[in-house]
Chain A
Amino acid sequence: MKTNRELAAIASQLRRDIVRMVSAAGSGHPGGSLSSADILTALYFNVMEHSPATWTRSAAGQDAFFLSAGHLAPLYYAVLARAGYFPVSELGTLRRFGSRLQGHPSVTDGLPGVHRASGSLGQGLAAAAGLALGKKMDGDSHTVYALCGDGESEEGEIWETALFAAHHGLDNLVGMTDVNHQQIDGRVEDVAGLENLSEKWLAFGWDVICADGHDFASILDAFKLAGKRDGKPKMILFETVMGKGVDFMEGTHEWHGKAPNAELAARALAQLDETLGDY
């Protein structure tokens, strides 16, 4: 188990990786990658039972993570590489022709750690529910995690899965929503007003846990609560800041899907400690 200080150090490196990857690629999605960085750091380094050495797409005998919001690929690749799924040197190939690190996650080239393709929104929670159901059928007590965005929750399929998972009592399914309040066209409340997400998930029959997505004590407490097997699926609503860690990206939709140029990347990197060595 890592200490919260160690987790913070890893998250800082992931944020550096994200900025460097996206800047080098000249395109990509830094905003949400930065807002979800602490959540996935905690998940991969302190919460999930997983092993890169024995990982398979079936996740038999392990916990599994599905990225529903596929545009958070820079974060996903960085956390997988830093957790040992593939060499960190590969991070520099993001979005390049011939790279396994496609603009959105793909299984075509067999990138370790990636179970399914994602990028078209609203679909990862359903697939996670399917794997969770499969684990129940097989008597495998491991957990399936899926990360969605708050904007992504505008997709109807999310709510189909909300009904399904509760009806089938999938208490081994942990949904996570990165509530960063931003989507491409602006603030979520201006674009499509999700109103009270917590009450919505409660009404669908889920256990709802609210946490500060940038406070490791809060994040880890939330995952602990989500481990309860009470016949209900779990939804953790992580309150976060879009673009967290880079001052000019924070709190705005402007950096949802835009790459910083070299000058802005340098300004961003000056705010993020290099803790594990850049790739």
Chain B
Amino acid sequence: MKEYIDTGKKDTRSGFGAGLLEAGRRDNRVVALAADLKGSLKMNAFAAEFPERFVECGIAEANMVGVAAGLALSGKVPFCGSFAEFITGRVYDQIRQEVAYSRTNVKLASSHAGITLGEDGATHQTMEDIALMRALPGMTVLVPCDYNQTVQATLAAAEFDGPVYLRFGRPAVPNFTNPSEPFEIGKVYKLNEGGDVTLMACGHTVWEALEAARLLEAKGIYAEVLNIATVKPLDSIALAASAAKTGKVVVCEEHNAAGGLGEAVAAALAQEGICAKIRFINGGDRFGRSGSPAELMADYGFTAANIAAAASAL
């Protein structure tokens, strides 16, 4: 199968920080807003280089989203960031009215998403954010898979005209995508060709899907691996083409079942008239708990071994 090299583990939030800085250098309309989590969101470099374009809002996320909408109206390209729970669930109505319905060009930067936030536990581990943001009319939902892709996704979000939800995480994870490949919003990235089963994933689980494909190949099962970095709008045609070829699909995501990638994929395949066996690997219907990211990934089954096992069982 196609070789992917981990060039050294890096956190995707640092990819956002690097992308934000570069976006700021390319376009002076780019501004950043933080709610007392500038450091956690890796906005420090941007804030140091562009202090006049960095807006500290304090621990007041609702106001931050409104201010971002107002800045967007004035022609800025605001990235407002917080932990995933606090930039979605806490401010859903503000995003709905001031960003989505009002069509303001606000970018929601969502860090520490999923269970891999780790030790802080379930109050901070949102596994529902993709569902919330997918539900909003006109919202674009991006879930890049590693540091390099998060840099590029941030640049693409800055150039895109419209509301964007950009989800990334806290732990250091393998960094393997091409650092100079521009991010195309709406594109499904085919990381490996295969005819026996399709492994679909987004975010941190993409690397695990690639590892699973390696495990499967050793058993003579050839897996296609799709990195669904744009969860909305979803490229149904690309998904359908792969599912029609293999007839078997495993969808793995660091998110609960309701409203996540798995349901989106299932709906897309049904709509396209594709008959395929599907297995979902997700958080089901539960809250997270404290633990190291690795422990939690294992507990939830977000591992290459579990993905490979699910694929083998189809």
Contact = CB atoms under 8 A, between A and B. Distances in A.
A50 interface: no
Interface in A6-35: none
A133 B70 contact: yes
Nearest to A144: B70
A76 to B, nearest CB: 15
A206 to B, nearest CB: 15
Contacts of A124: 66
Interface in B93-111: 93-94, 96-98, 101-104
Interface in A137-180: 137-138, 144, 156-157, 160-161, 163-164, 167-168
Nearest to B137: A108
B3 interface: no
Nearest to A164: B63
Interface string B48-67: 00001101011010110111
Given A107-B103, A163-B58, A164-B60, A133 B97 contact: no
Interface residues of B, number: 31
Nearest to A107: B102
Contact of A137 (B53, B93, B98, B101): B53
B74 A126 contact: no
A131 B94 contact: no
Nearest to A125: B66
B75 A127 contact: no
Contacts of B96: 120
B73 interface: yes
Nearest to A68: B66
Interface string A101-139: 000001110000001111110111111111111110110
B74 A138 contact: yes
A9 to B, nearest CB: 33
B93 A127 contact: no
Contacts of B69: 116, 126-127, 130
Contact of A161 (B63, B68, B97): B63
A87 B165 CA distance: 38
Contacts of B57: 164
A60 interface: yes
B75 A126 contact: no
Given A58-B73, A137-B53, A130 B101 contact: no
A59 B72 CA distance: 12
A57 interface: yes
Given A126-B65, A157-B66, A115 B73 contact: yes
Contacts of A135: 74
Nearest to B66: A126
B71 interface: yes
Contact of A127 (B31, B52, B67): B67
B255 interface: no
A116 B76 contact: no
B58 A164 contact: yes
A120 B93 contact: yes
B101 A106 contact: yes
B75 A58 contact: yes
Contacts of A130: 66-74, 78
Report which residue of A108, A125, A131, A138 has the largest number of chain B beta carbons within 10 angstroms of its beta carbon: A131
A128 B70 contact: yes
Given A117-B101, A164-B67, A123 B73 contact: no
B97 A129 contact: no
Contacts of B53: 137
B98 A116 contact: yes
Contacts of A161: 63, 66-67
Contacts of A134: 70-71, 73-76
A132 B97 contact: no
A168 B52 CA distance: 12
B70 A131 contact: yes
B64 to A, nearest CB: 8
B78 to A, nearest CB: 8
A123 B75 contact: no
Interface in B215-249: none
A132 B69 CA distance: 11
Nearest to B91: A157
A240 to B, nearest CB: 25
A93 B65 CA distance: 32
Contacts of A106: 101
A123 B97 contact: yes
A258 to B, nearest CB: 24
Nearest to B75: A58
Contacts of A57: 73
Contact of B62 (A119, A138, A156): A156
Contacts of A119: 97
A107 B72 CA distance: 14
Contact of B67 (A116, A117, A126, A138): A126
Contacts of B93: 120, 123
Interface of A: 57-60, 106-108, 115-120, 122-135, 137-138, 144, 156-157, 160-161, 163-164, 167-168
9 contacts: A58-B73, A108-B103, A123-B62, A126-B65, A126-B67, A127-B66, A131-B71, A137-B52, A138-B75
Nearest 9 pairs of A and B residues by beta carbon = A130-B70, A126-B66, A134-B74, A160-B63, A160-B60, A130-B67, A131-B70, A127-B70, A157-B62
